[in-house]
A and B are shown apart, each in its own frame.
Chain A
Amino acid sequence: MCTAGLLACNDTCIPADTNNCGGCGAKCTAGQVCSDNACQSGGCDVGETECAAGACVDTTNNALNCGSCGNACPAGSVCNGGTCGCSAAGQMLCSNACVDTMTSNVHCGGCGRACNGTCSAGACLAMPGGAVLLPPSIRRMTNAEYDASAQALLGTTMTPSAAYNFPPDSRQGGGFTLNDAQRVDPVMAKALDDAAQALVTEARTANKFTTLAPCTNTTSGGEACAKTFIASFGAKAFRRAVTTQETTDLVTLYHAGADSPGTYNEGIDLVTRGILQSVGFLYVTALGSGGSGAITLTPQELASNLSFLVGGTPPDQTLLDMATSGGLGTPDGRETQVRRLLTTQSGRDRMVRVVREWLGVDRIAETAKDATVYSKFTTAVRTSMDGETKKFIDEIVQRSTGTVGELLNAPWSIVDTTLAPIYGVTSAGATAHTNLPKRLGILNQAAFLSVYAHAQETAPVLRGVAVMRRVACMKLPDPQSLNIQVVPPAPDPAKSTRDRYDIHATDASCANCHATIDQIGFAFEMFDGMGAQRPAGTMSGTYADSHLGTNGALTTVNTKANTTIASSTSFPSDFAGSYTDSNALATALASSAQVRECLARQFFRSSSGKSDDSVMNAEQSFVDLWKQMSADQQGKFVEVLVAYVRSPLFDQRSAP
């Protein structure tokens, strides 16, 4: 059998020509051409070209004469519009063969785009060493996720985690609330039961169950009604269908409440209480279903993980429908949902929370100052500092460039009337940009500066370490692990904080790290321990450092904020240089590729809930993937999150 347009002659497929026109060996007479496999006089038809031996061909679709006579397309390819190509979707003609550029390591996403890792959906995931997917895992919901889930399920306005004393989220590891140490310990188990009972009572009082678990005949049809309730309510709570075994166990629970001396309502209440304490409700799973090699999450898991990760809430109907239709199995399908969820209030709140957890500025709510030194650090001021970072981050993400560069370098913020006097400015309003040309970006805002300071004085070391570890992702050992005795400089009223810490530079064992740490920290010395601008000192270019003297009164000495940061073997940095103060440093950090890469790492850690050595390869995989993004996208919070959700690191897990 020969493909269309060819003739079978002596077991060979040949193109029709004047010697074989309309049949094998059927010759045309002189002066005729063979067109459409028929001999005719007067040349080829319009749109056809006379190629060898008087053969008329349509070069727009002729595989042997594609685009021009004699230009044969490679085997397996087709001629389309005068160009050789491939018929299967996702395939491209590369090096004379049709290849799947969605998966080919030689031609990943396009001809000649070699990929030394895994090519997935046309994106090269450089994964040296192979096993770089995250392991299958489960995680207990965070407190905020529990609250959002309870509210979605039962329409309560209660915040159960606060009302029932849930222990605070674990912040083990990188400081993010998603982490492996979120457990159900005895305190949590009791709080969960207390909360479940209260939620059920509230729902019962508010007549929620008349809609959730209606039953016309509770005497004879109670169990049937309960099963209907279990199937519908359970599926919503578990974010997947209820299994047969789960149904059986929940029906048993129903009878424990409903059987004499109980009632139908008691049975439903007990089932609800059980569901609220079930594994299906409390844990977000990323286990997939069976298989060897890479495991793909189930559609329902994709919906839950995506929804909690981006929106901070359980999946809504749109996501559940997408799960049913399989729409979340593709990167594009997931991306659409990420972008949608990020426009919701809870999605916006979650983005703000991640950025705050990353920089540690959310700890401002638990920061105190010595009233003798920082009398203006009142609860109201602290609350305003807290509010500033939230509004500032949200503004950057929602209405401005959404980049880490702007986060670190914006010459404005959202400053309320309580905080404005601390900054020495007039508030432009509760939502408007207040210009702050001398206070660039989030690192120069009061929340960061207060968190990374002591109660009575600034802390150049804390500020320097925060920038190195959190902003630039530099690996910094602890002094104890280096067997270095930490000797904090003794208080000396005659010296500025900066001068006291300069002792680090004179001790060789300290200097290796502190030459970098302190120089970064010193840049912030134009601000005091609660982030207020220090007044000018008595000498040009200095600031007045007020701190406690030996007599308990404040004493003032000159200090400076200029600094020189070197790039060393231990701490290579692309923001090395001399800076007049932390504003100049912020500008340098804002354009640093190292900082942008750190953003990718921190988003991986906050999204995966993992930051330990065991997932270092997975983290690197994500960074490699992130590197494929265009430079202008790499620093955008939303785009980095989108890239994570699109990637196999999100929807796949390594085989157990």
Chain B
Amino acid sequence: MKNQKRSATRRSFLKAVGAGATALPFYRLLENSVLAQAGQPLPLRFCGIYHPHGISMEYFAMLDGRFSLAKDTETAFNLTYTSSGTQCVLQPFDDAATYGQSFKSKILPIEGIDLMSNANGHDTAGTILTGSYIESTKPKNSSIDQYMAVERKLGAATRVTSIAVGVGDDSTASGTTLSYGPGGAPLPKIIDPVQAFNTLFAGYVPTSDPTAAAAAMRARAKGRSIIDFVVKDVNRMNTRLAAVEQQKLQQHLDSIRDLEKQFQEPTTGSTGGSTCTVPGTPNKTTFPSLKRYNGGEPYFDAITNSFIDLLTQAFACDVTRFATFFMADLSYSGNPLGLNADNHGGVAHTYNGSQLGNDGHPVGAGDPTTWVPLAKFNRYSYGKIALFMQKLAAAGVLDNVLIYASSDMGNPALHSTRNAPTLLAGGAAGTKFRMGRRLKMSADCTTNLWCAPTDAEFKASTNNHLLVSIAQAFGLTDVTSFGTQSTSSWKTGTLTGLL
């Protein structure tokens, strides 16, 4: 099966490149081609995804007898049920009609993960990939994508070390940012698909005009001389600084090294096991506005799809191996989901959960009518991840891309950072995580259901453990602890049950 796919991929690649590069073939020798030809797996890619507004837990959690439906088990579970006219939020992962195939065997939803941010849920997106508590709206350390790509240099081999994109919001607060550099300095997100395209692909399409080719080569040479100058310049200043200030210039240096790759000479070659097609420049007319609160909302869906295309090809073409994607809601009148124009106040805040959606607190049955709008929105978000998986599968890299998706909250009305909906997807080939299952972490509290993190009985199942597992899956087996937490056990050790 795998060999068949690879040879088909190879054919389509040659077809694209063969005719003197008339189309938009990918054009560069990829390090992984050697591996692929030797029958080894492609290098792993990582994509962290944020989706807003917490979760309608009743439509997410493993079936436990509710809705008069059969109970789920770890390996036998139902994603296609409907209750009160509302579908399971994970339904897109088992919807071959819409997404080409069922991804039920390629996902691993995890319940009971706590984001120990020590902050309001709205400030907690910063904890998802850093595993750090938030202080003065900032985490204390870099995020796992940046740690692996930059600090551990796993992104060094590709043209772009890492990329952070987002829909509608380019601010860098801890509530709107997944990726952080050293010391918790936020990385900005690219919110314009055209800009993302330029970062990932511009200049990588060869020209058949020899004059233009010579000019491009000269431009790259000049670019490299700029890099040489800036690197020397930064290093000279660095020697004059205290350690904490050096962090700023070290990040500058890493960024310049990233820019340097854009000036390297391209060489032709194979894409290994993936089908790489450099996408066309995104059509700006499909999103005349980009920014939230500034008329961008009606185009968020189109922008999201555009980013999915770009990230897919960036992974398939091995332009980058590390990405984060900050998704948005659909807060505008007449949104296709028929939701209140204010998704935040009118959908998330109105959620009135049962005990399941209330961090296990014995609060009664909740109000099932309030679960529905949020479930609709959640299903929309997971639909985008399913679409991403569909595209990655078509490009032959789904098993080599580990997706870690989470929201910043569990119960959004509580702004609770416990029981954040957690999903691993793809990545089965590289990580050896056993996909096609559902996991449920043990409850935080067992005796006193209202127990707090300061109580002895409180047992946190933190995302830090997941981050350690991810680092190890990427070959960083020396990583046994990740993040910044007041309690050592919260940040140390892998997440059990993944392998």
Enumerate chain B residues within 8 angstroms of A245, measured Cβ to Cβ.
236
Contacts of A291 in B (CB 8 A): none
Inter-chain contacts of B295 with A (CB < 8 A): 379
CA distance A168 to B170 in the complex (A): 7
Task: Report yes or no: A193 in contact with B226, Cβ–Cβ below 8 A.
Answer: yes
A350–B358 CA distance with the chains assembled, in angstroms: 47
B226 touches A138 (CB 8 A): no
B15 at the interface (CB under 8 A from A): no
Pick out which of these stretches binds chain A: B59-67, B83-91, B338-346, B398-406: B338-346
> Per-position contact with A for B226-264: 1 when CB-CB < 8 Å, else 0?
101110111011001110110011011011101100100
Contact with B along A361-372 (1 / 0, CB 8 A): 000011110111
Contact A278 B233 (CB under 8 A): yes
A252 interface residue per 8 A CB criterion: yes
Q: Which residue of chain B has the shortest Cβ distance to A459 in the bound complex?
A: B345
Contacting pair B252 A138 (CB below 8 A):
no
**Is the CB–CB distance between B346 and A172 below 8 Å?**
no
B252 touches A249 (CB 8 A): no
- Whether, in the assembled complex, B120 has its beta carbon less than 8 Å from a beta carbon of chain A, the answer is yes
The answer to whether A193 touches B259 (Cβ under 8 A) is yes
Chain B, residue nearest A486 (CB): B415
Tell yes or no: A211 within 8 A of B by CB.
no
Asked if B130 lies at the interface with its beta carbon under 8 angstroms from chain A, I say no
Contact B120 A256 (CB under 8 A): no
Nearest CB in chain B to that of A175: its residue: B137
A137 at the interface (CB under 8 A from B): yes
For B410-427 the 0/1 string (1 means CB < 8 A from A) is 000111110000000000
- Choose from A170, A186, A273 the contact partner of B259 (Cβ within 8 Å): A186
- Establish whether residues B241 and A138, one from each chain, have CB atoms under 8 Å apart when the complex forms: yes
Contact between chains at B233 and A246 (CB < 8 Å): yes
User: Which of A188, A274, A371, A480 has most B Cβ within 10 Å?
Assistant: A480
Verify if A135 is at the interface (C-beta below 8 Å from B): yes
> A611 near B: Cβ within 8 Å?
yes
Determine whether the beta carbon of B346 is less than 8 Å from that of A193: no
A459 to B352, CA, bound (A): 20
Give B99-118 as 1s and 0s: 1 = Cβ < 8 Å from A's Cβ atoms.
Answer: 00000000000000000011
B132-150 toward A: CB 8 Å interface, digit per residue (1/0)?
0000111000000000000
Docked Cα-Cα span, A481 to B223, in Å, equals: 48
0/1 interface trace, chain B 344-361, chain A, CB 8 Å (1 if under):
111001101000000001
Assess whether B188 is in contact with A486, with CB atoms less than 8 Å apart.
no
Select which of A138, A165, A185, A366 is within 8 A of B255 by beta carbon.
Answer: A185
Give Cα A485 to B223, complex, Å.
53
Cα distance A248–B138 in the bound complex, in angstroms = 40
Cβ-based interface call for A455 (8 A)? yes
A443 within 8 A of B: no
Complex CA distance for A324 and B185, rounded to whole angstroms: 36
Contact of A186 among B170, B258, B349 (CB under 8 A): B258
Assembled-state Cα–Cα distance A424/B416 (Å): 41
Q: What 0/1 pattern do residues 252 to 295 of A give for CB contact below 8 A with B?
A: 11001100010000100010011001111001000100000000
Q: Are A185 and B251 in touch, CB under 8 angstroms?
A: yes
User: Does chain B have a CB within 8 A of A189?
Assistant: yes
Q: Name the A residues within 8 Å of B498 (CB-CB).
A: none
B192 contacts A370, C-beta separation under 8 Å: no
Partner of B172, one of A165, A181, A273, A486: A181
Partner of B188, one of A187, A485, A611: A187
Q: Within the complex, which residue of A253, A455, A490 is in contact with B345, where a contact is CB–CB below 8 Å?
A: A455
Determine if A183 and B192 form an interchain contact, defined as CB atoms under 8 angstroms apart.
no
Instruction: Closest B residue to A479 by CB, please name it.
Output: B120
Please state if A181 and B222 are interface contacts (CB–CB under 8 Å). no
- Is A333's beta carbon under 8 Å from chain B? no
Assess whether A370 is in contact with B346, with CB atoms less than 8 Å apart: yes
Q: Are A184 and B255 in contact (CB-based, < 8 A)?
A: yes
Determine if B454 and A483 form an interchain contact, defined as CB atoms under 8 angstroms apart: yes
B246 to chain A, nearest CB (A): 10
Could you tell me the distance between the alpha carbons of A139 and B416 in the complex, rounded to whole angstroms? Answer: 36
- Give per-residue flags for A580-612: 1 if the beta carbon is below 8 A from chain B beta carbons, else 0: 000000000000000000000000000000011
Contacting residues, chain A, for B248 (C-beta < 8 A): 138-140, 180, 183
Is A89 part of the binding interface, using a Cβ–Cβ cutoff of 8 Å?
no
Q: Which of A156-200 contact B (CB under 8 A)?
A: 165, 167-168, 170-173, 180-181, 183-190, 193
| Interface residue? A351 (CB, 8 A) | no
* Given A274-B226, A277-B226, residue A171 in contact with residue B345 (CB < 8 A): no
Which residues of B (409-459) have their CB < 8 Å from a CB of A? 413-417, 452-454
Interface status of B321 (Cβ within 8 A of chain A): no
A250 at interface by CB-CB < 8 Å: yes
| Partner pick for B120 among A173, A456, A486, CB 8 A cutoff | A486
Inter-chain contact A181/B249, CB cutoff 8 Å: no
Kindly state the separation between the CA atoms of A455 and B297 in the bound complex, as whole angstroms: 14
The interface residues of chain A lying within 8 Å CB-to-CB of B117 are: 480
CA–CA, A139 to B292, complex, Å? 29
| Chain A, Cβ-Cβ closest to B294 | A366
- Report the count of interface residues on A (CB-CB < 8 A): 70
Asked if A478 is at the interface (CB within 8 A of a chain B CB), the reply is yes
Contact mask for chain B residues 144-166; partner A; CB cutoff 8 A; 1 contact, 0 none: 00000000000000001111100
Interface string of A547-563 (1 = CB under 8 A from B): 01000000000000000
Chain A residues lying within 8 Å of B452, measured Cβ to Cβ, are 483
For the complex, is B7 an interface residue (Cβ under 8 Å from A)?
A: no
Establish whether residues B252 and A189, one from each chain, have CB atoms under 8 Å apart when the complex forms: yes
* B293:A368 contact, CB within 8 angstroms: yes
The reply to whether B136 and A488 contact each other, CB–CB distance below 8 Å, is: no
Interface membership of B186, Cβ < 8 A: yes
Pair B344/A249 contact, Cβ less than 8 Å: no
Distance of A454 Cα from B341 Cα, bound (Å): 13
Task: Flag if B233 contacts A270 (CB, 8 Å).
Answer: no
Determine if A128 is an interface residue (Cβ-Cβ < 8 Å): no
User: A136 on the interface (CB 8 Å rule)?
Assistant: yes
A184 contact from B236, B251, B291, Cβ within 8 A: B251
Nearest opposing residue in chain B for A139, CB measure: B248
Shortest C-beta distance, A321 to chain B (Å), equals: 26
- Asked if A17 lies at the interface with its beta carbon under 8 angstroms from chain B, I say no
Contacts of A171 in B (CB 8 A): 171-173
Closest approach, in angstroms, between the C-beta of A164 and any C-beta of chain B?
9
* Complexed CA–CA distance, A278 and B236 (Å): 11
A252: chain B residues at CB < 8 Å are 225, 228-229
Write out the residue numbers on chain B whose beta carbons fall within 8 Å of the beta carbon of A372.
333, 341
A residues within 8 A CB of B232?
249
Rounded to whole angstroms, the CA-CA distance of A377 and B361 in the bound complex is 40
B138/A274 in contact, CB under 8 A: no
A100 touches B (CB below 8 Å): no
Contacts known (A172-B186, A256-B225, A480-B118); A187 close to B136, Cβ less than 8 A: no
* B residues near A421, Cβ cutoff 8 Å: none
Choice from B160, B172, B189, B252 contacting A170 with Cβ under 8 Å: B172
In the complex the two chains form, is B333's CB within 8 Å of A371's CB?
yes
Asked if A70 is at the interface (CB within 8 A of a chain B CB), the reply is: no
Q: Counting CB contacts under 8 A, is A357 at the interface? A: no
Query: Quick check: B345 and A370 within 8 Å, CB to CB?
Result: yes
Q: Known: A165-B195, A279-B249, A366-B292. Contact between A185 and B187, CB under 8 A? A: yes
Which residues on the A side are within 8 Å of B163 (C-beta)?
186
Q: A168-B170, A368-B292 are in contact. Are A184 and B252 (CB under 8 A)?
A: yes
Nearest-neighbor residue (CB-CB) of B250 within chain A:
A183
Residues of A within 8 A of B162 (CB): 186
Q: Give chain A residues whose Cβ lies under 8 Å from the Cβ of B454.
A: 483
Q: How far is the CA of A139 from the CA of B261 in the complex (A)?
A: 26
A457 within 8 A of B: yes
Q: In the assembly, what is the distance between CA of A454 and CA of B343, in Å?
A: 12
Question: Does B181 sit at the interface, judged by CB under 8 A?
Answer: yes
What 3 A-B pairs have minimum CB-CB distances, sorted nearest first?
A: A167-B188, A256-B225, A189-B255
8 residue pairs of the A-B complex, CB under 8 angstroms, read: A183-B185, A183-B252, A185-B255, A253-B225, A274-B226, A287-B240, A368-B331, A370-B346
| Additional 13 contacts, C-beta under 8 A, given A183-B248, A266-B222 | A138-B248, A170-B172, A181-B184, A186-B254, A193-B259, A270-B222, A277-B226, A368-B331, A454-B344, A478-B120, A480-B117, A483-B454, A491-B350
